[in-house]
Structure 1
Amino acid sequence: MKTVLIPTDFSKNALHALQYAQELFKCERACFFVMHTYGEEVYGEYKTAPKEDIEKLKEEKRKLSEKKLDELVNSVLGEPPNPLHNFETVVSFDSLVDGVNDFVDEMNIDLVIMGTKGETSNHKTTFGSYTIEVFKYVKCPVLAIPEGFEYRQPKAILFPTDYLLPYKRRELKLLGDLAGKFKSKIHCLYITDFEELSPRQEDNKLFLEGTLTKPYLYFETAPVKNKAEVILEQIDKKEVGMLVMINSRHSFFEDMLYRSTVDLLGLKIKIPFMVMQNLKR
């Protein structure tokens, strides 16, 4: 059974991510943990309030969050509810990243699914600041669903990689299972001006081949230029339904996050974006 965590701030985009998760795992057993973190709601507005006022506000926020979570889950159960799915609600007095990270460790979560932005995000970009933080710091695969994206099976998946990182078997198995059940093509894209791979790259490529056995796997290269432009061109050319990247220290993805590349991707990507982790869990 898959264990899936869906953080929510009760925005329309967060609701959309929950509905997407239900469709993605429609035909398999899954437990959905729907979480709301409210630490920042308390301390954001009342930093200088007396301690007793803070404690009172915490209790009010907790009760309100529990009520809203119950209402949210009841609104998406369906008639009749999917017998393969189980829902649990989680309220955490913490920041989003810390709350998600702690729960991921505690419950050994397989996948985090969330909206790309919440109520307070800049509507000019696809990825809000909270989504970027979860991408970077949560030690679990994260699948971000753009606002307004209509669910469809990802028949083509783009996986940009430089083959320099040792991949995590559990992370690749998740990708392989998702792609395998939809009979998807995974296009492993290496953006380079060099034809030959180093022995280390060859080993990592062989590991990909040996692990991703369920989907159709393709290895392709593209010449070096602006990486975001290459990715966007490939998404359009191959009618890609999901973008997948690896996050690790000194990785291609981290390099993008700390530069303007992610800004361009954030403006243009309108498909689900899964970030797998190579960080210690």
Structure 2
Amino acid sequence: MLKVLLPTDFSENSRNAIDYALHYYKDDECVFYILHTYTPMAYRVDYILGSPAYVGLGDNWQSETEAQINEFCSEIEHLNQNEKHKFVTHIALESLLVEVLKVTSKEEIDVIVMGTQGATGAKSIFLGTRTRNVLKVSRCPVLVVPEGCFYKKPEKLALVTNYKRNFSADILAPVKQVLSRFKSSMHIMHINEEKQLDSIQASNKNTLDVYLKVFKPNYHWMPNFTNKTKSIQVFIKELDVDFLTMIKHERDFFGSIMREPVIKKVSFCVEIPFLVIPVND
């Protein structure tokens, strides 16, 4: 049975990501873990030292939040009515990042599905701090659903790669699952940072082709614009891609994209779901 973690702050964006997950996995037997966390006042000193102003905060928060998340879950179950789906609620007086790692490890979560922004997210920022942090540390795949992105069957799946790291069956398993599930077409994008692939890149490309041969992948080379995110944006628009996948190495292509100011300060206008697959270096 598939185990899916759904972080929520009860915002419209997080609810939309949950609705997407329910449609995406409608044919699978799943346990959905609905997670809500609260961090008290950025760990203020008076809270940590037990100031009278904060006495009972945990108890009050827990009782109120339990009622809220139970009502939230009941509404979802009522609208979903899928016998293959089960729901487990989890709340914690802790940072989202810490609790995501705890729950992912304890429950052996297969995938995390979350929105790009929380209730307080600025409209001009594509990835909120919480989402970006989860992407950086998650040990399982993370499916990110942009604000206003409603479910549709993925027809064209794209994988962005620089071919500098080797591929394995485990790494590509999430990609193959999407392709098999939805019979999507496969498009592999490489940003043209060099005149030709070196021997390592060529070998990795051959390995990728072997693993995905049954899906008849299409290979694309994109110009290296002012930044990599721009290249991805143009590629998605030109090919009308509706599902993006990226493989996250700690010190590789994904990391360089995460460091680009376009994600931190401006808008990274990707309006389609994207799946980030972590690899332990």
Which has the larger displacement, 126-135 or 216-225? 216-225
What is residue 236 of structure 1 aligned with on the other side? 237
What letter corresponds to residue 239 of structure 2 in structure 1?
Answer: K
The residue number in structure 2 matching 1:274 is 275
- The one-letter code of the counterpart of 2:93 is F
Counterpart check, 1:72 vs 2:83: no
Aligned to 2:13: 13
Instruction: Provide Cα deviations, 1:70-112, integer angstroms capped at 9, x if missing partner.
Output: 1111111136710111111111232111110121111221110
Q: 1:212 to 1:96 in 2, by over 3 A?
A: farther
Mapped partners of 2:262, 2:173: distance in 1:
28
1:44 to partner: Cα distance = 2.8
Q: Is the 8 A contact 1:157 1:244 kept in 2?
A: yes
Shift in CA distance, 202/37, structure 1 to aligned 2, threshold 3 Å: same
CA deviations over 1:250-278 (Å, ceiling 9, x no partner): 21111111122425884411111221111
Change (3 A) 1:33 1:191: same
What's the counterpart of residue 182 of structure 1? 182
1:134-153 counterparts in 2 under 5 A? 134-153=134-153
User: Judging changes above 3 Å, is the alpha-carbon distance between structure 1 residues 110 and 168 closer, same or farther for their aligned structure 2 residues?
Assistant: farther
Deviation string 1:233-258 (CA, Å, 9 cap, x unpaired) is: 11111111112212222211111111
Structure 2 CA distance for partners of 1:202 and 1:21, relative to 1, 3 Å = same
Please say if 1:60 is aligned against 2:83: no
CA distance in 2, matches of 1:135, 1:197: 28
2:159: which partner in 1? 159
Any conservation in 2 of the 1:8–1:35 contact (CA below 8 Å)?
yes
Structure 1 residue 174 displacement after superposition: 1.7
What are the residue-to-residue correspondences of 1:93-242 with 2, within 5 Å? Answer: 93-167=93-167, 169-194=169-194, 196-212=196-212, 215-226=215-226, 227-242=228-243
Deviations along 1:13-64, whole A, 9 cap, x unmatched? 11111110000001111111110112x1x24375414527445101221222
Which residue of 2 is the match for residue 33 of structure 1? 33
Q: Deviations over 1:134-186 (max 9, x none)?
A: 11122221111111112101111221101112345334212211222111122
Shift of 1:210: 3.8
How do 1:83-98 residues align onto structure 2 when only pairs under 5 Å count?
83-98=83-98
Letter in 2 for 1:51: G
TM-score (norm 1): 0.90
- 2: CA distance between counterparts of 1:200 and 1:84? 44
Rounded to whole Å, the distance in 2 between the matches of 1:260 and 1:82 is: 42
Whether the 8 Å contact between 2:37 and 2:99 is mirrored in structure 1 is yes
Alignment of 1:246-265 (within 5 A): 246-263=247-264
Cα distance change, pair 196–249 in 1 and its aligned pair in 2 (3 A):
same
Contact 1:180–1:214 (Cα < 8 Å) also in 2 = no
8 Å Cα contact 2:244/2:275 also seen in 1: yes
Q: Does the CA-based 8 Å contact 2:16-2:150 persist in structure 1?
A: no
RMSD: 2.2
Which residue matches 2:24?
24
Q: 2:50 is matched with which residue?
A: 51
Normalised by the length of structure 2, the TM-score is: 0.90
Which whole-Å CA distance do the structure 2 matches of 1:86 and 1:10 have between them?
19
Measured in 2, the distance between the counterparts of 1:224 and 1:173 equals 28
Q: 1:120 to 1:55 in 2, by over 3 A?
A: same
Structure 1 gaps of 5+ residues are none
- Structure 2 regions of 5+ residues with no counterpart? none
